[in-house]
Every structure is written in C-alpha cells, then in structure tokens.
Amino acid sequence: MADRTGGGRICKVARAKLNLALHVRARRADGYHDLDSVFVHCVDGDEMWAEPADALSLTITGPFGNGLSTGEDNLVMRAARAVSAEYGGDRGAAITLVKNLPLASGIGGGSADAAAAIRLLVSLWDLPDDPDRMSGIAATLGADVAPCLFSWPKHVIGRGEHFTRLGDAAYRDWPVVLVNPGVEVSTGAIFREWDGRDRGGLGDTPRFADVMASGRNDLEAPARALATAIGDAIDALAAQPGAFGARMSGSGATCFALFGSCAERDAAGVAIRRAHPDWWVMETRLS
C-alpha cells in the first residue's frame, strides 16, 4: 500500500508498527517506564485521505472504524489542529481515516494515524517538509507519535521520545504475518503485572541478527498470563513453515512472525485463517 495522490485528494499510509524487541528497563518516579525497543514498520496499515475544504473535518470508515469519535478529542483532529497552529493560519481539510488495523493492539494505532495526519496535511497545505518541525508537533501528541513519522527502522528509548535510525539493511523488506486473536488487553494492567526485573538492554546500535536471536518482549509474559489467546497466537505463528521471531508487539494483543519468503508468508496466512476464522490476520512486509 503506497502513498497516493489523485484528483486533488492525497493519501498517506499510517503504517503498522512492530516492536521487534521491547525491553522494559525500569519503572520511573512519574509512573511511566523506561523502554529499550526496536521499531520497524510495515508497508500496510490504516489509510489517511485528505482534500481541500473550508474547514477541518474527519470521517472514519473501514472494518475497525465503528464507534470511533470524529470530534476534537480524536488524535487525528488534534494533530490537524496542531499542524495548523504551528504554521499559522486557519486552514481546512476534509480528512477520511480508513481504519484497517485493530484498535489498541500494540501496532501503532492512534499514534501512527496522528503521524500520518501530520505528513498528509503538510503535503496538502504545501508547507515546509521539515522533519524537526514535524517531530516537534508530534511530541505534543504522545511519545510514540514522532517515531511513527518515519518508516525507517529505529532504536527507541525512554518513554519513546528518543529514537535513532538503524542503518542495518537486514531490518528491511521481510515478509511478515500479523495476527490479533481479538482479545482486549489493558496496557496499564500488563505493565502492572511486569515483574520489575531489568534483564538488560539492546546496546547502543542493535543489529538485526542480535535482536532476532536474543531480543525479547518483556510484556509478553504478563500479557500471556492475562489473555491466554495471545500465547495461542504466538504458538500458531511459530508453528508455520519458514516462520522465525514469533513475538507479541507492544503491549499486545497483536503478534507477528517474519518469514523467509512471500510464499511461506502467504501460506501461513491461509493456514491461520483456516484454523482460526475469528482472528484478524494480515500478510504484509517490512518497509
């Protein structure tokens, strides 16, 4: 799914985010946690469309769009207002969000949508494409929004506000299957169940081979304990021919595995859908 333009409308993809590793280092005095993670992004995700209009508006469609607010509390609308305020003026746009990804599922969600909205409106309104300025806008919206502005692999630390680009080409273009077993998990509850042990970080510049060999998601064990279906999804992915690195992303409930070929990935998607018709499954690749 590529970014597209046409007929005055433009589109940006809010690319699904995966944590290839998520090491929880410490619980902070402010109640948040220090994280050490590798973010990669898929070529597919939610779609964000916009076209010129006199005022800002938001419409939400797609398989996971039912019941979502389109008002000023929506993170996409907050992003749009923030872009307009940063660059001055009172600009309008008719925005449509096609919600293809499950909600609150550990793969970027609202953060990816907000990041896509920033990039979309900078393009629509012909504003300066300044990464630092856009990152500043994103930082006001949430810790994960700025990392989701850029589709390159990145090493993310702190709450998510500090990130650096990873130049290891091995991170890119892997076929991948995403699976969500349809269970609701509370991020707060999963963090509360984390055992508090610092099992070490990823190093200054984590390489793909090391992350896949010894990286982990420290939230996976508490998530499995709270929702056994997450373990079922990871086990189903790991059992597919050609699969490696089967893990949970973020605080769940979406899980993933990488594959050595597109044929193995596609066969895995078919097999998992057949065995679990009530699960959400997406075949894609890393960007």
DSSP structure string for 3-50? -EEETTEEEEEEEEEEEEEEEEEEE-TTS-EEEEEEEEEEEEEEEEEE
HSE of 114, CA atoms in CB hemisphere, 13 A: 29
Three-state secondary structure call for residue 72: coil
Ramachandran category for residue 37: left, alpha or beta (phi over 0 → left; psi -120 to 50 → alpha): beta
Task: Assess contact for 110 and 77: CB atoms under 8 A.
Answer: no
- The one catalytic residue in 113, 144, 154, 218 is 144
CA–CA distance, 249 with 252 (Å, rounded to integer): 6
In sequence order, the 6+-apart residues with CB closer than 8 A to the CB of 68 are 60, 74, 99, 103
**For the CA atoms of the chain, what is the radius of gyration?**
19
Verify whether residue 12 is a known catalytic residue. Answer: no
Verify whether residue 235 is a known catalytic residue. Answer: no
Tokens of 270: 């078919």
- Burial readout 106-122 (b: 16 or more C-beta within 10 A, e: otherwise): bbbbbbbbbbbbbbbbb
- The one catalytic residue in 12, 17, 99, 154 is 17
Three-state secondary structure call for residue 197: coil
| Active centre residues (catalytic) | 17, 144
